[in-house]
A and B are shown apart, each in its own frame.
Chain A
Amino acid sequence: MSSDTTAASQKGFAGLAGDWASDKDAFKGVPWGKAMMWIFLLSDTFIFSCFLIGYMTVRMSATDPWPNTSEVFALEMFGHHIPLVLIAIMTFILITSSGTMALAVNYGYRRDKKRAAILMLITALFGASFVGMQAFEWTKLIEEGVRPWANPMGAAQFGSCFFMITGFHGLHVSIGVIYLLIVAIKVLKGHYDKKGYEIVEITGLYWHFVDLVWVFIFAFFYLW
């Protein structure tokens, strides 16, 4: 394979830089949609970072005490008082859905349309159940009197941050579920036979990102 640029033949860092700077595309063999999704996710990372940094700042500036999250998010189950149990289940479900998504990507590239679509539907189902549990959690907190503007357990900013951050993340999961359903149906219909199955991986990138963001929310909001 010859090229208009000589850099491609070099080794080490010079070769890497040469490949990136060569003609046509900086990332060889990366479809446009995939490159675009990566860049979008980078931008979205900044959005969630700003949300989390904003949350940490108001947590410091709040004048009322911050509620103890392991108590707030505890449930009475089978006669036991278990802290953070619902969040633990939600986290487990979301991380499992990343596994089924990865399998779907694999079957997509193998052009096993049926398995890929079924695994995507399972992923969407996990996602939907996550959103459902989040709705349950919201209901519970609202019944306990937590509002975006008020919180009987301490700082009002607890409620503000909780509804804002989990709401924004839940919105991402919901969009992801719809996105997964659309792509899964199109996969089943053979819509991508000609174009190739990168779309499954692109959908997967978004899904893994949403999961990863949840891990940070879990660590910084619920565990801290």
Chain B
Amino acid sequence: MAYAEDAELEELHEPHSFWTKYIWSQDHKVIAIQYSLTAIFVGLIALVLSGLMRMQIGFPGSLETVDPTAYYQYMTMHGMIMVIYLLTALFLGGFGNYLIPLMVGARDMVFPFVNMLSYWAYLLSVIILLASFFVPGGATGAGWTLYPPQAITPGTPGTDWGIVLMLVSLAVFIVAATMGGLNYVTTVLQARTHGMTLFRMPLSVWGIFVATILALLAFPALFVSAVMMLFDKLLGTSFFMPEMMSLGQQLDHKGGSPILFQHLFWFFGHPEVYIVALPAFGLVSDLISTHSRKNIFGYRMMVWAIVAIGGLSFIVWAHHMYVSGMNPYFGFFFATTTLIIAVPTALKVYNWLLTLWRGDIHMTVPMLFSLAFIMTFLVGGLTGLFLGNVIVDIPLSDTYFVVAHFHMVMGVAPILVVFGAIYHWYPKITGRMMNDTIGKWHFWITFIGTYLIYFPMHYLGIQGMPRRYFSYEEIEFIPQSAHDLNTFITVTAIFVGVAQLLFVFNMFHSLFYGREAGPNPWRATSLEWQTPQTPPVHGNWPQKLPVVYRWAYDYSVPGMEEDYTPQTVPDDPAHESIQHDEAGNPDGAPA
């Protein structure tokens, strides 16, 4: 007997007090909401930080609080929060927690207690991170890549306490991500319901599953580099610190390798891009299929593309280090692998387009965000081909072209999916629809706004405008047009940033005043929409676990009455009412 069936027979212990139900909850759905709200909260902080930075770039000197020290601190914290504490936590801890058990037909994650610890460790890491704003010297200003020697050498902001708190916070986050990740992977592998084969899983689950494996294998490199750098900072070891002079002083370090840190960091850092991108690929596939009422084109190809991207992502890391100096043959190798990764990625883009082709496209808010994702991801992906080539990368390196590229491809594109996915799954989570009109305003402002912000940055980058600078006024080769453009970008950025309040308002307002959604407002096929209650109760399927007969993409099947056929509908209508034997197994299922 499979262990999932053992669990099916166990009685559910439903928590009753407020504290065990909503605070110290072990229910994957509550943990998912805790993760998501925390992630959105820190994300808003990072958004404010980016606004403050843009004020300095667009209107130099306009804010007294933004001096060079503060600027570098904001830049570092903005990057780190957005990449790790918002996107990683939201996709894996938020969507992963909510959707995996529901989509594969499990009562919960396999180890709910560990899952709960994962959230509390994550919250602890967030608190440590935010605490670094308030310690002497402030947060670290080393840039989100935290390159040594500068990250721990006097002269960089926050070398007293900020960098220590940042590294400790990362280590705690990795513990949290590991505890959660072990749960997600084991649940997908070992706790699927009757008939839920691997190739019947929705692509959302595939994306989150492969991304979690990447997280479990990539975060160790960050953990080790964090430990080593903490030792360099606190114990005076020289893992990453060469013999050097700093501010006229000979430092005590000797014989370390700064390049070692870069290798370790990017061995984590590049898979991290796909830890964020793969769940987005998965979620957006389901959104596009559902809202164009058509099966996803090339499902198996999509799955293998996710797996291939995941595998390749571990052998491209040094394309972030072309300017650090490396053997030209290595540069050749990493440029080649980087360009190869474009093949499965392009395959996915084609398949999304072919899914849309002649589909019954409903221009709902989730669909709008999905279409926007395809366009944004395409632009960001194409500039990735420029930067993947050593000879093109070297002049463009550390310019605004790079800023434009990674914001398009791993900032805006995944965030558009996050928005689309929240609009899509909100009815299941709360039982109410989000407001459509506000949603559409939010969409158009965000989509057009982000293009207006990031598209001109390509031009700035080709002009040679360096990134990470506090002030550009003194640099002669930067033309007036670039300064004007920067002002324009800042105005747009502030507008788009403020417009996100529409989304926050919509989220909380709809909770109380939204239209009643019913169990399956989008008429979708996957299991989470077939739960007996909406929102799903503790245990998801309190009586019998569902039985799956088909893949998750039976939309507009010829000859069917409805334009969607849920996964729980048997092929042969005669089997409509499934018989359960005494042990509670559906008829014909292996005992």
Contacts and interface: CB of A to CB of B under 8 A. Distances in A.
A147 to B, nearest CB: 8
B193 A39 contact: no
Q: Specify the main secondary structure of chain A where it touches its partner.
A: helix
B461 to A, nearest CB: 33
Contact of B239 (A3, A22, A32, A157): A157
B186 A32 contact: yes
B190 A30 contact: yes
Contacts, number: 160
A168 B224 CA distance: 11
Interface string B243-272: 100000000101111001001100100000
Contacts of B242: 61
A173 B239 CA distance: 25
B195 A4 contact: yes
A179 interface: no
Nearest to A31: B3
Contacts of A149: 235-238, 252
A159 B231 CA distance: 12
Nearest to B261: A54
B227 interface: yes
Interface stretch (A42-50, A106-114, A126-134): A42-50
Interface string A133-163: 0000000000000001100000111011000
A11 interface: no
A216 interface: no
Contacts of A49: 220
B254 A21 contact: no
Given A21-B199, A26-B190, A32-B110, A61 B257 contact: yes
A23 interface: yes
A9 interface: no
B197 A32 contact: no
B588 interface: yes
A37 to B, nearest CB: 9
B190 A25 contact: yes
B220 A148 contact: no
Nearest to A37: B182
17 contacts: A4-B194, A23-B548, A24-B190, A24-B194, A30-B190, A32-B110, A35-B186, A35-B190, A36-B182, A43-B181, A44-B220, A50-B225, A58-B255, A58-B260, A61-B260, A156-B237, A164-B228
For the complex of A and B, the 5 pairs showing the least CB-CB separation, nearest first, are A46-B220, A149-B236, A50-B224, A61-B257, A160-B237
Given A4-B549, A27-B190, A43-B220, 13 more contacts: A23-B192, A23-B196, A23-B197, A35-B189, A35-B190, A36-B110, A36-B182, A54-B224, A63-B254, A63-B255, A64-B254, A149-B238, A164-B228
